[in-house]
């Protein structure tokens, strides 16, 4: 079975631009979460979606937004990019996080560099 896939693998943008990152969960998984991992730190929670609804949000500015599609894939959008947005963006999927915890499976991440 295919694991969580993310695209693109790497991305270079300049300050002020907008970026869209994509994630396809494991087949059958209904929940997708997004994390930002800065070098030397642990992942920081950005969003969690379950059944196309936002179920959790971390402490990130409104420049960050996400959505989940009927096929459970997800996009993370970041507007007005700042240098500090440079990081590895991780997507994780799980079968069920609607009413409780579940194991998350992580993708390889998208490396975003903002110049």
Partner 1 sequence: AQSVSQHNHHVILSEAASLELGCNYSYGGTVNLFWYVQYPGQHLQLLLKYFSGDPLVKGIKGFEAEFIKSKFSFNLRKPSVQWSDTAEYFCAVNYQANNDMRFGAGTRLTVKP
Residues that bind partner 1 (CB under 8 A): 3-4, 33, 35, 40-45, 48, 55-56, 58, 90, 92, 97, 100-101, 103-109
Based on the number of CB atoms within 10 Å of its own CB, is 26 exposed (0-12), middle (13-18) or buried (19 or more)?
Answer: middle
Nearer to partner 1, 6 or 81 (CB): 6
58 Cβ neighbours under 8 A, 6+ residues apart: 44, 45, 46, 47
Q: In this complex, which beta carbon is closest to partner 1, that of residue 35 or of residue 72?
A: 35
Nearer to partner 1 by Cβ, of 13 and 111: the residue is 111
């Amino acid at each position: 079975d295919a694991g969580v896939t993310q695209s693109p693998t790497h991305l270079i943008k300049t300050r002020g631009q907008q970026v869209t990152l994509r994630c396809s969960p494991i087949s059958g998984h209904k929940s997708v979460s997004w994390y930002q991992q800065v070098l030397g730190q642990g992942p920081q929670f950005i969003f969690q979606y379950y059944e196309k609804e936002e179920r959790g949000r971390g402490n990130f500015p409104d420049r960050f937004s996400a959505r989940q599609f009927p096929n459970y894939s997800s996009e993370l959008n970041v507007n007005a990019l700042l240098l500090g947005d440079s990081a590895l963006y991780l997507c994780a999927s799980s079968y069920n996080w609607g009413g409780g915890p579940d194991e998350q499976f992580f993708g390889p991440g998208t490396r975003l560099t903002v110049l």
